[in-house]
Each structure stands twice: as C-alpha cells, then as structure tokens.
Amino acid sequence: MTDTLPRTEGRVPYKGHSTWYQIVGEGEEPGHLPLLCLHGGPGGTHDYMESMAALANGGRRVIFYDQLGCGHSKLPGPNPDMWTVELFVEEVAVIRDALGLDELHILGQSWGGMLGMEYALTQPSGVASLLVCDSPASMEQWVSEANRLRADLPPDVQNTLLKHEQAGTTDDPEYLAAAEEFNNRHVCRVPHSPGVARSFEQLEGNEVYLTMNGPSEFHCIGSLRTWNIIDRLAEITIPTLVISGRYDEATPLIAGTIRDNIPGAQWVLFEESSHMPHEEEPERFHQVVGDFLAAHDPGA
C-alpha cells in the first residue's frame, strides 16, 4: 500500500548547506500525529528504513531525512571538524521547525536512537513519544558487548580483524570481508533489501562515520568512543519504547540498560532479529510500533 501513498521531497537550509527530506503521506487522520525517523550511522542514510513508510498506512505522515553529510545531504570536500552530536541534535530541531512538526512522535534506529535520546534531553515540547530501536546509551558498553560477540566469530576471522586493526589497514578488502561475518550475524540476518544495500554502500568510507565512529561496528576509535548518557537517562520524561533483536549488536544488556533508566520505558525484544527488526521481522515490527504510536496519540 505504501507505493500508492504520495511522497514529497524537499530541502531545508542548514549550516550554509541543506538537509534533504521525504514525507510519505498527505496528512494525519484526526487524533494522529506524524512520525519523524532518525537514521543510523552516524553517516548512514534513510534508505535502509524505507520499509517503515508502511506506518503511514496508520493515518499519519512518516518523515525521513538524510542527516547533513549523508546520502542526499552529502557535502563536497572534507569537513571532519563539523561532525558533532550537537550538530545533529540541532538539525532535528531545524527539521521540526521547517516542516511545522509542532507535535509528533520520534523514532531513532541505532545511532538515530542515540540522537533521539540526546534530543529528548533538551526537553523539547510537543514530542508525544520516543522509540529507541537497537541503540546504546554508552559507546563503552557498546564496544564491550561488540567485542564479546566478536569473540564468537571463527578464529581465522578474528585473526584477520586484529591483524588489520593493528596495522591500520582497516580499509583492506580482507578486513571488510571479515567484518561482514560479524554483520551477517549481528546487523542483518536476512538478504538485504535494495534500501539496506544502498545504505551500506553509502556508509562505506563515509566521513561522518569514520570521524565519529571509526572503521567498523566494533572498532570505535572516533569522537563517540567515550560517549555515555546512562546517568542522564532519568531526565527523559517522554513515553519511551525500546526495541532490540535477540542477536542484536545492541544486546539485551544494552537495551535493558536504557529500559531500566528511562522512567516508565517499555522494551520489546524481537526473537528472530539482530540489528534490524524492521527488516527481519517487518510485520511484527509494524504492529508493535503502530500500537505504541496509537497508544500515545492525542486521540488515545
């Protein structure tokens, strides 16, 4: 049904550049609010979240955008000093203002969930609910859990990863192939849809990702390596749903930490999924998310 829904694209001026967005749907049914989706990375694109457009069938607009430096919002030339958490938090507010999203729901996936929590900590008005999908609240905890999962990879794969990390050759095809072993277990366990494939292609070598994260999911040497908001989660008062997969790199320990520290937060674990339940168990994902949004719409 989403193929029949109207889609509107545009650009919002930001920091002397512009941020691309897409709106799926024309408006809201009475008592419903739009959903703003924050993609992962940092340095990813909205493409891998395209299946979430189906949520527009629930009588609400679904809004995607490519964060500055990413996808349709990519910038010319090197800009490594630009990429900060603060830049992307401000961008959420700029998008809201430009599109007139006075009241809305916010869903963030992976880095997008980190961004959503950071935005919630600014105490914004008009946010009816927050959905944190497959995200950590601490990069130190994230790396610790990723390395625990990495220890279960075949010894030859582990040796290849370590060899290239020590040599600083993490752009070597051999390293990338070894990292793919991890991704197939803990990032997406089903054949990649065209949107997921496009996001992975655009993430490879992306300056935002390399600056803030590093060369791979478990080798975080970028500016986010010490990021930690666990002690501040209690400040989030927005109704929150935490989503994760059984085989997720955002492990049950990571998801449980967020659930336990945001007052009243709920947590749904997808038993057949890793880092992308929206791709791995799409029907259940849309049901769980749709029910949560409906429960926190003004008309609930």
What's the mean pLDDT in 92-117? 98
Q: What is the pLDDT of residues 22-35, one digit of tens each?
A: 999 999 999 999 99
pLDDT over 80 (residue 16): yes
**Cα separation of 52 and 40, whole Å?**
14
**Cα separation of 45 and 74, whole Å?**
10
Measuring CA to CA, how many Å separate 291 from each of 58, 248, 258?
Answer: 10, 22, 21
**Cα separation of 24 and 53, whole Å?**
6
* Complete domains list, the chain, with CATH: 2-295 (3.40.50.1820)
**Cα separation of 33 and 38, whole Å?**
16
Considering the candidates 47, 66, 134, 248, report the single residue annotated as catalytic. Answer: 248
Considering the candidates 32, 39, 275, 278, report the single residue annotated as catalytic. Answer: 275
Q: Is 102 a catalytic residue?
A: no
Q: What is the pLDDT of residues 190-230, one digit of tens each?
A: 999 999 999 989 888 899 999 999 887 777 889 999 999 99
Q: Is 138 a catalytic residue?
A: no
The pLDDT value given to residue 270 = 98
Confidence of residue 251 (pLDDT cuts 50, 70, 90): very high
Tokens representing 193 are: 């849809």
What's the mean pLDDT in 278-289? 98
Which amino acid is it at 186?
A: H
Contact between residue 132 and residue 240 where contact means Cβ atoms under 8 Å apart: yes
Q: What is the pLDDT of residues 125-163, one digit of tens each?
A: 999 999 999 999 999 999 999 889 989 999 999 999 889
The pLDDT value given to residue 58 = 87
Considering the candidates 73, 110, 244, 274, report the single residue annotated as catalytic. Answer: 110
The percent of residues above 70 in pLDDT, for the chain, comes to 99
Q: Is 274 a catalytic residue?
A: no
Contact between residue 7 and residue 33 where contact means Cβ atoms under 8 Å apart: no
The pLDDT value given to residue 179 = 85
Contact between residue 19 and residue 93 where contact means Cβ atoms under 8 Å apart: no
